[in-house]
Structure 1
Amino acid sequence: MNGIIGISDIEAAARLIAGHVVRTPTLASTGLSELLGVPVTAKLELLQRTGSFKARGATAKLLSLSEAERAAGVVAVSGGNHGIALAVMAAALDVKATVVMPRTAPARSIALVEAAGASVRRTGGMDSAFALVPRLRDEGLTLVHPFDDPVVIAGQGTAGLELAEDADDLTDVLVSIGGGGLIAGVAAALRARRPGVRVWGVETAGAQAMSEALAAGGPLPVEVSSIVTTLSAPSVSRLTYDHAAALVEEVLVVPDREAVRGSLEFAEHAKVWAEPAAGCLLPAARQVRERVGDGARIGLVVCGGNVTHREIAEWTERFGLG
């Protein structure tokens, strides 16, 4: 398992970011347990600073930079949550940030990045957004990659470390996948602290970078068409692929419609406002529950809540979920 993030790296990241990010609640959910028919525990990363787990990795990376790097500034590519996290945490640490965002990024996400004081560069799509990064790095900016960085992965893994400490009876943990940074870190933490727990990845149809990579035997470019822009990475990295191949049970793919339905179910049954990138966990959890049976004890890493009521209403109508 060469290149796999070690528990010591995740523990070091936890010490580094302590006081800068929230130790989010890990709670048993009566409503979700009744919905799925087995005990369900939710790690509420939507209550993290900036509304998603991304604050963990961004903070870890920013605090690992040299004084010269911090003075020169940082750059990130993001469809939403990573950019928001970097912009807010960079402002808190007095680091100048530039965020490259595709035109498909939600207007609210762009507004939040700008409100935090970061410079926004708009591009056509995620491919062109990533293509702009080398030029910005040539200008002296340090890239804070959303997932292809061991420091960022270790930072995201602190969510898994907390989950392992706060919920000790889980059999199966489900984690959403965009580029794979969150599941890489969470799986590494759980493998070390709770080696008997199975970790399942979840993607939406049209944002299948990891499942296609696993089928192909390595990362490759994928066509992105999902409405779930926060999961729409154009490819995973070799680093996140290696973690998934070594540590993840399977990657499940659910339709956009079911991801939106999951967001509605989170609101109704768990009383939390989850974006579809987290909503996709519930239809996948049903699949896991069917496979594992009544003995399942399910953990859900509820990755973020950065979605507007208008977006949820539009998708609800579009998919006939009213």
Structure 2
Amino acid sequence: MIGISDIEAAGERIAGHVVRTPTVPSPGLSDLLGVPVTAKLELLQRTGSFKARGATAKLLSLSEAERAAGVVAVSGGNHGIALAVMAAALDVKATVIMPRTAPARSIEIAQAAGASVRLTEGMAEAFALMARLPAEGLTPVHPFDDAVVIAGQGTVGLEFAADAGELTDVVVSIGGGGLIAGVAAAFRALRPGVRVWGVETEGAEAMSRALAAGGPVQVDPSSIVTTLSAPSVSQLTYDHVSALVEEVFVVSDREAVRGVLELAEHAKVWTEPAAGCLLPAARRVVDRVGESARIGLVVCGGNATAGDVVAWAERFGLR
């Protein structure tokens, strides 16, 4: 299990390379949900998501030989962008494997940063390819099955716990589970009375299915939310979530896109569906906890284009 000392060490390591993102009360979201809401704006992080933290922590932990060999990562979008950009900043050659369903903009950014991008038919094929490439000498930077990466993502929780006012409940999106594992570990150490809740989208339910099965299982991702579409969680992230997280909700893609529009209208922030799904989950938390709730939202990323959002809104009949 990741401890607070691991997260604090990661924070010291990546300081100066990443942004300490704002933690702000949101009057608009507070009015919308009927309880006080505080947002950790990780969409303002370098590369547009929290992923820069874990990628940087891992890159800085590598030996000279590992860095010289180059690194490889698999991604539905944000981890690939983060690794490509941060590796370029540290003069490390990067290979990024993405499914063809990944956002076109994510592929373009990774390529523009100088990474070699390899596309596969789906996420399962992407992970399979990543498993083979270390044999060619590349150093893997796994998006969530890595203690150093999880500790890096946990610095989100380190900052949130330090900077927020009163909180009773924190809501975090789940793909492979690295972010929520790190955030939950930080809050358990620093604010043990705060409950941490997870949220996935239908068709990207790797963690909720793992919890039901008693361990990681393979799923076939079908959600539009490619940044949450891991084909399975890891034993490492499963262990953290099963021990530290209150419950994992599953919401529809439509609800996630509606959340994107609500965040734009009420919080004045431009997010992606991986963050949009926080709002329907937060409503469920308020239903459970009642009006005493003080909600914290980890707004994980904002790498969606205007065209993406318009297309999703039209697809789901949202205005």
Calculate the TM-score normalised by the size of structure 2: 0.99
Write the deviation string for residues 113-160 of structure 1: whole angstroms up to 9, x where unpaired: 000000001111111111112321011111000000000000000000
The residue number in structure 2 matching 1:39 is: 36
Matched, 1:76 2:73: yes
The residue number in structure 2 matching 1:299 is: 296
The partner residue of 2:213 within 212, 216, 225 is 216
The residue number in structure 2 matching 1:65 is: 62
Q: Identity across aligned pairs (percent)?
A: 81
- RMSD over aligned CA atoms reads 0.5
Matched, 1:315 2:312: yes
Partners of 1:23 and 1:250 lie apart in 2 by 28
The partner residue of 2:85 within 88, 108, 119 is 88
The residue number in structure 2 matching 1:169 is: 166
Write the deviation string for residues 96-126 of structure 1: whole angstroms up to 9, x where unpaired: 0000111111110000000000000111111
Pairs within 5 Å for 1:260-275: 260-275=257-272
The residue number in structure 2 matching 1:276 is: 273
Partners of 1:83 and 1:319 lie apart in 2 by 28
The partner residue of 2:229 within 211, 219, 232 is 232
Partners of 2:94 and 2:236 lie apart in 1 by 25
Matched, 1:159 2:156: yes
Partners of 2:257 and 2:278 lie apart in 1 by 10
After the TM superposition, which parts of structure 1 deviate over 3 Å for at least 4 consecutive aligned residues? none
Unpaired runs of at least 5, structure 2: none
SS at match of 2:286: helix
Matched, 1:289 2:286: yes
SS at match of 2:220: coil
The residue number in structure 1 matching 2:49 is: 52
- Letter matched to residue 165 of structure 1: A
Pairs within 5 Å for 1:165-204: 165-204=162-201
SS at match of 1:199: strand
SS at match of 1:307: coil
The partner residue of 1:143 within 136, 140, 143 is 140
Pairs within 5 Å for 1:115-134: 115-134=112-131
The residue number in structure 1 matching 2:106 is: 109
Partners of 1:246 and 1:229 lie apart in 2 by 26
Partners of 1:287 and 1:121 lie apart in 2 by 39
